[in-house]
Structure 1
């Protein structure tokens, strides 16, 4: 759903840019708490510091999975938006920053998503998806049993709803600042219809990913804090839940390293972007298909980074499509994880002004 330049007029694009900038500013402040960047005495959530090493990885993983377009209807494909996945894994504010980093890298390096439409894309793909998905996810987890299955199911539903919500948001922006005269009702029907189908794919990817992380390290999932993985014992060759007494004093989660999870996640992202992406659907995605069918793309403009050596997810001057696309994907993952990790490291290290003056009896 990357909106190119020319779909939305300049004034509305500028307003969307201001909205996106404000949301990112709020995200930076909120991410400081989610990543444990404030002192414990200032109210940071216990365990938040453990998400910091994974935030850059989440951005890189979303970048990689977004390269995997999957077919949803005849001549139409879809791809992960990632807002729900990021919000559940590392928190809504940090998740928004993850999506912003991904969109920035895609726009500058790969000519994917217009540069003047960056504010529109961050608003639609970042703000709307993270807010809608996390609000719904939290609501569901409060009424459902506190188990791994119910948490994964909540992630599925939240991700499913977030995609058509983003489609509605784009339609509203188009209704205000669209550059072509197309009946808004037809645009809304087409956008929501195809993105409900895309949402099913988004929900499946989100649930599988969240479920996989919860199965091994629930303490690393922001939306599953307090959900402990049950201790298993092998009895007569079968795994059974350990008695409560045996599981009463598990190893402190804070002392457990994140290196294995980080390494496995990075390896998965590199494989997806460098190899699996070659087999992704070549059909236009939902927005591209609707734009072509309804005439929204009549005034689309050439991308400002069209001459980038990585434009269209291929390395310039490499004729072999498999090698070119795979290398571009690997470069994209590497750059995204580096930039994302740098941003989140800086956010975590920064202290709020009042934090240094707040002392507890234990710190004296």
Structure 2
């Protein structure tokens, strides 16, 4: 039997495992939708719409290896352009349309949403946020982040699929986790190059549309107590006097 490195095929994972992971996917999507409300504006909505078209076309390209085949995910690109919350919803929309238009088994939609939309985008965003602490938000920095992020997020999504196969899959599929992760990381190199080219192009043309450029940013603000003291220096003197200490 052939296993997909990313899309979990219908009938390959038992019903209890499918239900459990699908419930987790619904809960995660609900959280993403709630958070996305505060971040969604006209530019990000337009970018998300374009991403849906691009990713839907990209997922039609399969990369075959013996026993396993995989395809581009798009979690890294979505996370870098529109952020984690809208990005997860964007990839979910792609998966739903993929199932409706191209005949993917919708019974495993929850499994695939959890792997590609939730895990793939979440790991991508966490890595983007971490790398932005040390890399500049210029073309070279964004390209490095895109390449690294695509590889890691692809491996994370494949590991999620491997875990599902291991917990509830047929015996021939339970030993494919390592091969699936390795396959998808290799595909992630190609995806990283595509992601880097797309992000750098958009950043040069309209940097305001790239979430990795406009955010996340580390805010270094003092604690409220210190901020109050900074606003009223005399308050610190009064506190010292009340406690019986001498201020020098």
TM-score, reference length from structure 2: 0.79
Cα distance in 1 for residues equivalent to 2:203 and 2:59: 22
Note if 1:203 corresponds to 2:192. Answer: yes
Report the Cα offset of residue 100 of structure 1: 0.8
Residue number in structure 1 paired with 2:171:
181
Residue number in structure 1 paired with 2:160:
169
8 A Cα contact 1:103 1:118, kept in partner? yes
Residue number in structure 2 paired with 1:151:
142
Structure of greater Rg = 2
Summarize deviations over 1:196-251 as a string: whole Å, max 9, x none.
21111111111111111112111111111179xxxxxxxxxxxxxxxxxxxxxxxx
Report the Cα offset of residue 90 of structure 1: 0.8
- Identify the structure with the greater helix proportion: 2
SS in 1 for 2:132: helix
Deviating beyond 4 angstroms after TM superposition, the runs of 4 or more aligned structure 1 residues are 73-77
Summarize deviations over 1:286-315 as a string: whole Å, max 9, x none.
xxxxxxxxxxxxxxxxxxxxxxxxxxxxxx
Residue number in structure 1 paired with 2:60:
67
| Cα gap change, 1:57 to 1:99, in 2 (>3 Å) | same
SS in 2 for 1:6: coil
Cα distance in 1 for residues equivalent to 2:26 and 2:32: 10
Cα distance in 2 for residues equivalent to 1:207 and 1:74: 28
8 A Cα contact 1:219 1:226, kept in partner? no
SS in 2 for 1:143: coil
Cα distance in 2 for residues equivalent to 1:190 and 1:167: 9
Matches within 5 A, 1:221-232: 221-225=210-214
8 A Cα contact 1:89 1:223, kept in partner? yes
Residue number in structure 2 paired with 1:18:
23
8 A Cα contact 1:87 1:134, kept in partner? yes
Report the Cα offset of residue 188 of structure 1: 2.0
SS in 2 for 1:165: helix
8 A Cα contact 1:27 1:94, kept in partner? yes
| Larger relative contact order (CA 8 Å, sep ≥ 6) | 1
| Cα gap change, 1:188 to 1:69, in 2 (>3 Å) | closer
Q: 1:216 aligns with which of 205, 220, 225?
A: 205
SS in 2 for 1:2: coil
Cα distance in 1 for residues equivalent to 2:48 and 2:185: 28
| Cα gap change, 1:144 to 1:56, in 2 (>3 Å) | same
Cα distance in 2 for residues equivalent to 1:74 and 1:125: 22
| Cα gap change, 1:183 to 1:6, in 2 (>3 Å) | closer
Note if 1:126 corresponds to 2:126. Answer: no
Report the Cα offset of residue 2 of structure 1: 1.6
Cα distance in 1 for residues equivalent to 2:136 and 2:195: 20
8 A Cα contact 2:68 2:180, kept in partner? no
Q: How many residues align?
A: 211
Cα distance in 2 for residues equivalent to 1:34 and 1:74: 42
| Cα gap change, 1:117 to 1:183, in 2 (>3 Å) | closer
